[in-house]
Protein backbone atom coordinates (compact mmCIF):
# COMPACT_ATOMS: atom_id res chain seq x y z
CA UNK A 1 0.00 0.00 0.00
CA UNK A 2 1.31 3.40 -0.88
CA UNK A 3 0.84 6.72 0.87
CA UNK A 4 -1.95 7.67 -1.53
CA UNK A 5 -4.05 4.68 -0.50
CA UNK A 6 -3.85 5.32 3.27
CA UNK A 7 -6.74 7.54 4.33
CA UNK A 8 -7.84 8.43 7.79
CA UNK A 9 -11.38 7.64 8.85
CA UNK A 10 -11.45 10.15 11.69
CA UNK A 11 -13.07 13.51 10.91
CA UNK A 12 -10.50 15.44 12.97
CA UNK A 13 -7.52 14.23 10.94
CA UNK A 14 -5.72 17.37 9.67
CA UNK A 15 -5.14 15.74 6.27
CA UNK A 16 -8.93 15.83 5.62
CA UNK A 17 -9.12 19.66 5.82
CA UNK A 18 -7.90 22.33 3.44
CA UNK A 19 -4.80 24.18 4.65
CA UNK A 20 -6.76 27.25 5.82
CA UNK A 21 -8.95 25.26 8.30
CA UNK A 22 -7.28 24.63 11.70
CA UNK A 23 -6.94 21.03 12.84
CA UNK A 24 -9.71 19.80 15.11
CA UNK A 25 -12.38 21.99 13.53
CA UNK A 26 -14.61 20.94 10.66
CA UNK A 27 -15.06 23.32 7.73
CA UNK A 28 -17.91 25.77 8.30
CA UNK A 29 -17.71 25.63 12.11
CA UNK A 30 -15.73 28.79 12.68
CA UNK A 31 -16.59 30.70 15.85
CA UNK A 32 -19.20 33.40 15.38
CA UNK A 33 -17.77 36.84 16.13
CA UNK A 34 -19.53 38.87 18.80
CA UNK A 35 -22.06 41.38 17.53
CA UNK A 36 -20.51 44.85 18.02
CA UNK A 37 -23.94 46.46 18.46
CA UNK A 38 -24.77 44.03 21.31
CA UNK A 39 -21.71 43.69 23.55
CA UNK A 40 -23.48 41.14 25.79
CA UNK A 41 -23.66 38.55 23.01
CA UNK A 42 -20.93 35.95 23.06
CA UNK A 43 -19.92 33.30 20.56
CA UNK A 44 -21.92 30.08 20.66
CA UNK A 45 -20.66 27.56 23.20
CA UNK A 46 -19.14 30.10 25.61
CA UNK A 47 -20.73 31.53 28.73
CA UNK A 48 -20.96 35.12 29.78
CA UNK A 49 -18.42 35.78 32.57
CA UNK A 50 -21.22 36.54 35.06
CA UNK A 51 -22.93 33.25 34.25
CA UNK A 52 -19.63 31.37 34.51
CA UNK A 53 -19.12 32.86 37.99
CA UNK A 54 -22.74 32.06 38.91
CA UNK A 55 -23.67 35.74 39.16
CA UNK A 56 -26.67 35.47 36.87
CA UNK A 57 -30.09 35.96 38.43
CA UNK A 58 -29.82 36.87 42.08
CA UNK A 59 -32.21 36.04 44.89
CA UNK A 60 -34.65 38.84 45.61
CA UNK A 61 -36.98 39.66 48.47
CA UNK A 62 -39.97 39.33 46.18
CA UNK A 63 -38.84 35.86 45.12
CA UNK A 64 -38.32 34.84 48.75
CA UNK A 65 -41.76 36.22 49.65
CA UNK A 66 -43.38 34.30 46.81
CA UNK A 67 -41.63 31.10 47.88
CA UNK A 68 -42.73 31.67 51.48
CA UNK A 69 -46.33 32.21 50.39
CA UNK A 70 -46.36 29.02 48.33
CA UNK A 71 -44.90 27.01 51.22
CA UNK A 72 -47.42 28.62 53.59
CA UNK A 73 -50.33 27.68 51.34
CA UNK A 74 -49.11 24.08 51.12
CA UNK A 75 -48.81 23.91 54.93
CA UNK A 76 -52.31 25.35 55.36
CA UNK A 77 -53.79 22.79 52.96
CA UNK A 78 -52.03 19.98 54.85
CA UNK A 79 -53.36 21.36 58.17
CA UNK A 80 -56.88 21.54 56.77
CA UNK A 81 -56.69 17.93 55.58
CA UNK A 82 -55.29 16.88 58.98
CA UNK A 83 -58.09 18.65 60.87
CA UNK A 84 -60.82 17.24 58.60
CA UNK A 85 -59.46 13.71 59.06
CA UNK A 86 -59.33 14.05 62.87
CA UNK A 87 -62.80 15.23 63.83
CA UNK A 88 -63.21 12.85 66.80
CA UNK A 89 -64.08 14.91 69.87
CA UNK A 90 -61.74 14.90 72.85
CA UNK A 91 -62.17 16.42 76.28
CA UNK A 92 -59.46 18.78 77.49
CA UNK A 93 -58.97 19.91 81.04
CA UNK A 94 -56.99 23.03 81.82
CA UNK A 95 -56.94 24.01 85.49
CA UNK A 96 -60.65 24.28 86.35
CA UNK A 97 -61.90 24.52 82.77
CA UNK A 98 -63.08 21.63 80.65
CA UNK A 99 -63.32 21.78 76.84
CA UNK A 100 -64.63 19.40 74.21
CA UNK A 101 -62.99 20.00 70.82
CA UNK A 102 -62.15 17.96 67.73
CA UNK A 103 -58.73 16.28 68.00
CA UNK A 104 -57.31 18.08 64.92
CA UNK A 105 -58.30 21.50 66.29
CA UNK A 106 -56.83 20.61 69.68
CA UNK A 107 -53.49 19.65 68.16
CA UNK A 108 -53.53 22.80 66.02
CA UNK A 109 -54.01 24.94 69.15
CA UNK A 110 -51.16 23.09 70.84
CA UNK A 111 -48.88 23.77 67.85
CA UNK A 112 -49.87 27.46 67.83
CA UNK A 113 -49.15 27.71 71.57
CA UNK A 114 -45.71 26.17 71.01
CA UNK A 115 -44.98 28.60 68.17
CA UNK A 116 -46.01 31.58 70.33
CA UNK A 117 -43.73 30.43 73.16
CA UNK A 118 -40.85 29.99 70.71
CA UNK A 119 -41.49 33.45 69.19
CA UNK A 120 -41.52 35.06 72.64
CA UNK A 121 -38.22 33.41 73.59
CA UNK A 122 -36.67 34.46 70.26
CA UNK A 123 -37.97 38.03 70.69
CA UNK A 124 -36.43 38.31 74.15
CA UNK A 125 -33.09 37.10 72.75
CA UNK A 126 -33.24 39.62 69.89
CA UNK A 127 -33.86 42.43 72.39
CA UNK A 128 -30.84 41.27 74.44
CA UNK A 129 -28.59 41.24 71.37
CA UNK A 130 -29.77 44.72 70.25
CA UNK A 131 -29.11 46.19 73.69
CA UNK A 132 -25.61 44.65 73.76
CA UNK A 133 -24.90 45.97 70.24
CA UNK A 134 -26.10 49.47 71.15
CA UNK A 135 -24.00 49.43 74.33
CA UNK A 136 -20.94 48.35 72.32
CA UNK A 137 -21.62 51.04 69.72
CA UNK A 138 -21.79 53.71 72.44
CA UNK A 139 -18.52 52.48 73.98
CA UNK A 140 -16.77 52.49 70.58
CA UNK A 141 -18.01 55.99 69.71
CA UNK A 142 -16.46 57.42 72.91
CA UNK A 143 -12.95 56.66 71.68
Instruction: Specify if 44 maps to a domain.
Output: no
Q: Which helix (H) or strand (E) is 116 found in, with range? A: helix 103-141
Which residue stretches of the chain have pLDDT < 50? none
For residue 48, the Cα-to-chain-centroid distance in whole angstroms is 21
pTM (two decimals): 0.47
The Cβ of residue 42 has, within 10 Å, a number of other Cβ atoms equal to 16
Q: What is the spatial distance between Cα 113 and Cα 35, in angstroms, rounded to a whole number? A: 62
pLDDT at 65: 93
Total number of domains in the chain = 1
Instruction: Specify if 12 maps to a domain.
Output: no
Q: What is the spatial distance between Cα 104 and Cα 100, in angstroms, rounded to a whole number? A: 12
Question: pLDDT by residue (tens digit) across 46-63?
Answer: 666 666 666 666 778 898
Instruction: Specify if 18 maps to a domain.
Output: no
Instruction: Specify if 91 maps to a domain.
Output: yes
Instruction: Specify if 114 maps to a domain.
Output: yes
Q: The domain containing residue 107 runs over which residues?
A: 64-140
With left for phi above 0 and alpha for psi between -120 and 50, is residue 126 left, alpha or beta? alpha
Amino acid sequence: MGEDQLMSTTPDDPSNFPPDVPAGRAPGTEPVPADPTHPDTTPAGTEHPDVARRKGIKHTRVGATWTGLVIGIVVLVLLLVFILQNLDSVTLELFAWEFTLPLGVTLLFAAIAGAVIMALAGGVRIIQIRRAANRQRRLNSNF
